[in-house]
Structure formats: C-alpha cells, structure tokens
Amino acid sequence: MARTGIEFGTALRGVRNVADSARQIESLGFDVLGCGEHVSFHGDTANGFVSLSVAAGATNHIRLMSTITLVPLYPAALLAKMGAALDVASNGRYMFGVGVGGEFPNEFEACGVPVKQRGSRTDDALEVITRTWTQTDVTYQGRYTTLENFSLKPLPIQKPRPPIWISGRADAAMDRAAKYADGWLPYMYTPEQLAESVTKIRAAGDAIGRDLSDFRFGLFIFTAVHEDNEVAIKMAADKLSKQYAQDFSKLVHKYALAGDPDTCQARLREYLDAGADFVFVSTACPDDYIDTNLELIAKEVMPAFR
C-alpha cells in the first residue's frame, strides 16, 4: 500500500551552476533543497549559506536546508544572524541542519577551534540561536558566548523560528535533538538504527519534560538509481569510496540506497516503517549521471510514497 505524507529532499548537484541546479530540483517536485559544507575536505565543497542564498533567488517555493552546517566552526551570534538573514531573504523557507563535524580535523585547526570542543560549542550555539531567533534584548552568559541586550534585526520570518534539524549518530546528538530540535536527520544509518534512535530521542524528551509529539524523524541517505541494479550499486560504491577515502564496496547495501527503482522502493519502506517521514537523498553516482539519477528518483521512486 502506498504511503502518503512523506517528504523528499535532495542536494544541489555541485558547487557550480547553483541557480540552474536549484531550478531543476524544484521542477522535479522535491520538497526540500539542501547543501552541505566544509571549509576544507577531500574534494570540492560549498558553503551552505552562500549556495542556498543563490538557490533562494532562483526558486519560488522549495524549502532550503543546510545539510549540514558545521556549527562549531562559526561564532554563535554570527551563525544566528546568517540563518535569520537567509530565512528573511528566502521569505521563510530556511531549515537549519546542525552537525558537529570532526571527521576532517584539518578544517578545525584552520578555524582555530579544538576538535574536542565541537560538541560543547554546538550546544552553546544552539542556546544562542534558539534565544536570538525568538527574542530581542537577549542576555546570555555561556561557555563560549556572552550576549548583553543583544538583538537580531530583523528576526526570522518563520515563527517561532526556522525549524532545526540535528544530524549525527551518537547519543549526544540524540540528546541535543531532544532538547533543541524539531527533527532528526541521521546519516550512514540502517533502519534498525533509525528505529532505535526514535526510541532514544522520545525518551530523552520525556526526561526533560519536552513534548515531542510534533517532532519529525528523517534520513539522509546517499542514493544511486539505475534500471540495472548492479550498475547502480557499483556507481554508489565507487563514488562513496572516493568521497570518503575508504572502501565502500561492502557498505553500500547497509548505508546507501542503491539499485533499480523497485529495490530502492523496498529499502525505503524499511526506513519508513522504522519511523522516517522525511527522506533526504544525496546522489552517489558519476557527475554525468546526476541528472538521470534525480529524474529516476523523482519519477520512479518518490511517487510510490505520495
């Protein structure tokens, strides 16, 4: 039986031709357009705020999600301003995706941020962002940030604030999601792990007395769809092995969505049964196949869940 109410997002196809890519993704019927970021990584990477700002001017209604922002690399008040400004510039379409990073210590060193502080800095920033997106004349004394009668003007358009989605895998990230976020967006996750995290986050919410009845559970998953199942699997393995500088040939079936449309639909249903109602697909295929991959996802996979 087909499911209804599932939302789909996907990432910009690269760091160049952002406006064209954004228009294409909106025209294919995706609900959310995302962009990841690194200051420095194994290959070319964008800055989420810059690319999503370009996308905002090129599109009309698709929501814009940072997937994800490396929160500890930014001063908290500056990050709050950038998110608020993007929400205003996009007429209330911004979704704030949060991650602590750490898999590439070189960029932390370059930004003068100790890797071991990435969690505590993220918590401090989320406290600052939550307050300054919803209040004016904010006074706050944190471990890394001090505010004295501080106000962002203008405040974000979305009320009470733009939605916050926490990404990660660790228990600390789940606790962070229960305290600050509206959604959970893990990556490199199995359906079993997703189901377990749903239970943990709801329990963490109960422990702090927060009502999570409207909380959403999503999934960030690398995807390659091809009419030939084995071709799709090889595409994903080759792409992810290069991107993460490790052998992914044995991990594709566990962590990626790769195969023919029927295979991908069946795998997605396992995640939806585990609790997901938002699926963010990031292409894991050669550059010259990205357009075809997006079209197959939009025309052969997404309709089964709407």
Q: List CB contacts of 155: < 8 A, sequence separation 6 or more.
A: 84, 133, 134, 136
Name the CA dihedral angle for 299, 198, 37, 176, rounded to a multiple of 10 degrees.
160
Q: Amino acid letter at 103?
A: E
Alpha-carbon distance of 125 to 166, in angstroms, equals 13
- pLDDT at position 12 is 94
pLDDT at 244: 82
Q: Residue 1 falls within a domain, yes or no?
A: no
**Is 108 contained in some domain?**
yes
Average pLDDT, the chain: 96
Task: Express each pLDDT in 230-268 by its tens digit.
Answer: 999 999 999 999 888 899 999 999 999 999 999 999 999
Residue 25's SS3 state is: helix
Q: What is the pLDDT of residue 183?
A: 98
Does residue 298 surpass a pLDDT of 80? yes
Share of the chain above pLDDT 90, in %: 93
Per-residue model confidence as pLDDT tens digits over 84-127: 999 999 999 999 999 999 989 999 999 999 999 999 999 999 99
Would you state the pLDDT for residue 2?
Answer: 40
- pLDDT for residue 3: 40
Q: Within 10 A of 250 (CB to CB), how many other CB atoms are there?
A: 8
pLDDT band at 181; cut points 50, 70, 90: very high
Q: Is residue 258 part of a domain?
A: yes
At residue 4, the pLDDT reads: 52
Q: Is the residue at 2 inside a domain? A: no
Q: Give the domain CATH number at 137.
A: 3.20.20.30
Tell me if 104 is assigned to some domain: yes
Range of the domain at 136: 7-305
The residue-averaged pLDDT of 270-288 equals 96
51 within a domain of the structure (yes/no): yes
pLDDT for the residue numbered 43: 84
- Do residues 8 and 302 touch, judged by C-beta distance below 8 A? yes
Read off the amino acid at residue 38.
H
Q: Answer whether residue 17 is part of any domain.
A: yes
The length of the chain in residues reads 306
- List phi, psi (to 5°) of 138: -85, 130
- What is the total count of domains within the chain? 1
Whether 91 is in a domain gets the answer yes
For 134-178, the pLDDT digits (tens) are: 999 999 999 999 999 999 999 999 999 999 999 999 999 999 999
Q: Say which range, 41-45, 192-196, 297-301, has the weakest mean pLDDT.
A: 41-45
User: Of the candidates 27, 95, 28, 106, which has an alpha carbon nearest to the alpha carbon of residue 73?
Assistant: 106
